[in-house]
Structure 1
């Protein structure tokens, strides 16, 4: 392995068996063992389906990752992006040695600090102080090394008052602050972070992003960062990996990888299902027959055209308060708005097809790529069904003839400016 390469993945794949552990798996395990002692290939590697969460599927085996190959050099900050279910967290677990690949090999050089979930590696009965030393010991650091960094860790986390309190009494915010501070400050060569910033408040998120930037750019350590925040990926990372249904779809610079991801978001401005409603996207509560975003004027959606949003769905839950919520996001994962319609309000919902429409007025959205998340709820509390992969669309700048975000911002209002001249 090249001396500058600190992580190398060769043909790694990860297969999972669906269902409850211990239910009908002994025969499979014996079959695997019998093939292994005879020097033959695992028979279950030939079966299995792609990890597509939107379909039921027929196989008990799914491939969370398939044939992954890449190399990461020392000092690289790599953003790993993709939709939910693409395999991002599974990849980080393999790289962190939490689990091992079904096939293939991973080579790493140096100590790895992982922050995969809130409080990863913390013992709940131990105090914050004790957990700092425990985490350092797990990373292979001496007590002297940890002591040298201790005050800096505590100061960054902002939990000094509770440092001698068992962490099981910490709030989730305190937990993540300390966990991130430990992972970022202890002297590992590789830092792996999985969307942990979503837990902290806005101020702490900004602080974390600043520290991660210092770690990769200033200290020359390698950072792997899974995030749905495209703006953060573009700011922090110099390299990117785009995963789609367990496979690498694109590798390149962070900016190029984000653009490639956003292209994929911008390919489906309508969903229409013609077959048996029972097989349409949804579940036992809700099935979506049609969802579309079309221009109010002209042939394509532009800043000036506005758009009509149309949703037709089948409701199978009678006598409830039924609502449909629409959340519009940019492909940088910025929420533009979150609004909804209370379709039934007197516990009088009816089984059958329903239609909801509304208009996005002209001069509301700036040029760029957007997608809708739809959420169906009961009593404005319980989620009956949600989906964020059905519809995405592009708003073009008619004057430029493209959807390039030539001016900053999410909205593009057309104000009635009044200009006056009063003379000399």
Structure 2
């Protein structure tokens, strides 16, 4: 382990390579080539090939680097935020840190136990009750039955699953499963707690409760938290330091403010037009902010056009949801439209003098309520609002929030 006693986790030259279209990283012949290279003391021949993890370009190689040359250290009691767009390599990195999968190159050095909450129900056995799963997960973490017993009442109370704790978890909702899984991970006192976006499954009350618990863990108990989220407000409030991943590499690292500022900068550079093709039943084919150079005055209406792609004719009970987010990912408001048989293009207008000066992003979702989510394009377009309206100009020196609501005084 490293000499600095304050450093509890260190990632050295971590890279992860996958072979596209297959389980694992290669075929038997490729594995034999790798083995023969090791026997001869030569470098792995497949480390010299492979495309970067850039989903916006068409690669030439059957290999892709999900991560490349990742180096960082985490100190005891630190809360490290790991952010980046979908496909940047965040979940792959957390799986390597949690030893769910191994790196292709490099090494993870840690002091102490790691507890991971990466996916709903990870490590839970569906046929076992919630109580039995608490003991199972505690045993996996290396705790004795006595230690687990001393904590189980706190775990059950925090999770809010008291009524169902002796019911098999296969009958739990995803939210209940996350509640119990987080309680187990947090209360069984690992030195390092690794948490992915899975907390987004829980309701708002539980998310607030979980963030409060993570703050207690790091500040009060001196334990370390690695946190991945698309909720930039939660990252800003919780984390002390950050890492921004882009195409499998570290784009920047440092204070959470500096990392969030860089994330906002590259998010805005996406422009006012998004387009893609997909084999999904229903998907967002394009999003365009009309007549924009990515900037509007506050007295201008904003027109957004979305094209829906269909590979399935059954659009009954399918909806398009548009969410407008601020510069740190908080949802300001949402607009919904039922999909129609004969329509592929849907347009909406955000009225003038709705948004105040600042930077904003669009999130588009196609879903069947309580059944399925078909597509979710986060931060597909960005735009700025510039003030030039009498409704705002005299309020420049005040924090008036993100939206201006016209009202009528009664006296």
What is the CA–CA distance in structure 2 between the aligned matches of 1:181 and 1:299, rounded to whole Å? 43
Aligned to 1:78: 80
- Compared CA separation, residues 239 and 286, structure 1 to 2 (3 A): closer
1:125 to 116, 124, 127: 127
Distance 2:195 2:354 in 1: 36
Change (3 A) 1:372 1:139: same
SS of equivalent residue, structure 2 residue 270: coil
2:242 counterpart of 1:240: yes
Deviation at 1:327, TM superposition (A): 3.1
Quick one: distance in 2 between partners of 1:327 and 1:142?
47
Residues 209-238 of structure 1, C-alpha deviation per residue, up to 9 Å, x if partnerless? 111111111111100111111111111111
Whether contact under 8 Å (1:377, 1:385) holds in the other structure is: yes
2:289 maps to: 292
Q: State the Cα deviation string for residues 54-96 of structure 1 (Å, max 9, x = none).
A: 4443322111111111111000011111111111111111111
Structure (1 or 2) with the larger CA radius of gyration: 1
Structure 1 residues 189-228: Cα deviation after superposition (integer angstroms, max 9, x where no partner):
1111111211112211111111111111111110011111
Q: CA deviation at 1:406?
A: 6.0
| Stretch deviating more after TM superposition (174-183 or 126-135) | 126-135
Counterpart position of 1:254: 256
Unaligned runs of 5+ in 2: none
CA distance in 2, matches of 1:398, 1:268: 25
Measure how far apart 1:17 and its partner are. Answer: 1.1
8 Å CA contact 1:6–1:108 kept in 2: the answer is yes
- Inter-CA distance 24–259: structure 2 relative to 1 (3 Å threshold): closer
Q: Tell me by how many angstroms 1:293 deviates.
A: 4.5
CA contact (8 A) 1:77 1:225 kept: yes
SS at match of 1:49: coil
Give distance in 1, aligned partners of 2:174 and 2:17: 31
Distance 2:133 2:271 in 1: 49
Residues of 2 paired with 1:157 and 1:304: CA distance? 47
Deviation at 1:152, TM superposition (A): 1.0
RMSD: 3.4
Q: Is 1:337 the counterpart of 2:333 in the alignment?
A: yes
Question: Which residue number in structure 2 is paired with residue 8 of structure 1?
Answer: 10
Q: CA deviation at 1:23?
A: 11
Is contact 2:271-2:294 (8 Å) kept?
no
TM-score of the superposed pair, with normalisation by structure 2: 0.85
Please point out which of 19, 24, 36 is paired with 1:34.
36
Q: For 2:47, which of 45, 48, 52 is the aligned residue?
A: 45
For 1:323 and 1:112, the matched residues in 2 are separated by 40
The alpha-carbon deviation at position 317 of structure 1 amounts to 6.5
Change over 3 Å in CA distance of 1:166–1:409 after alignment to 2: same
**Is the Cα–Cα contact under 8 Å of residues 294 and 300 in structure 1 kept in the other structure?**
no
Q: 2:302 aligns with which of 304, 307, 310?
A: 307
Which structure 2 residues correspond to residues 396-415 of structure 1 after superposition, within 5 A?
396-398=386-388, 407-415=399-407
Task: Give the distance between the partners of 2:69 and 2:93, measured in 1 at CA.
Answer: 12
Distance of 1:59 and 1:233 partners within structure 2: 35
Aligned counterpart in structure 1 of residue 362 of structure 2, from 354, 366, 372: 372
- Counterpart in the other structure of 2:351: 361
Alignment correspondent of 2:207: 205
- Do the aligned partners of residues 376 and 154 (structure 1) sit closer, same or farther apart at CA in structure 2, a change above 3 Å counting? closer
Query: In structure 2, what is the Cα distance between the partners aligned to 1:196 and 1:43?
Result: 37
Q: Which shows bigger deviation, 315-324 or 166-175? A: 315-324
**Where in structure 2 are the equivalents of 1:94-243 lying within 5 Å?**
94-243=96-245
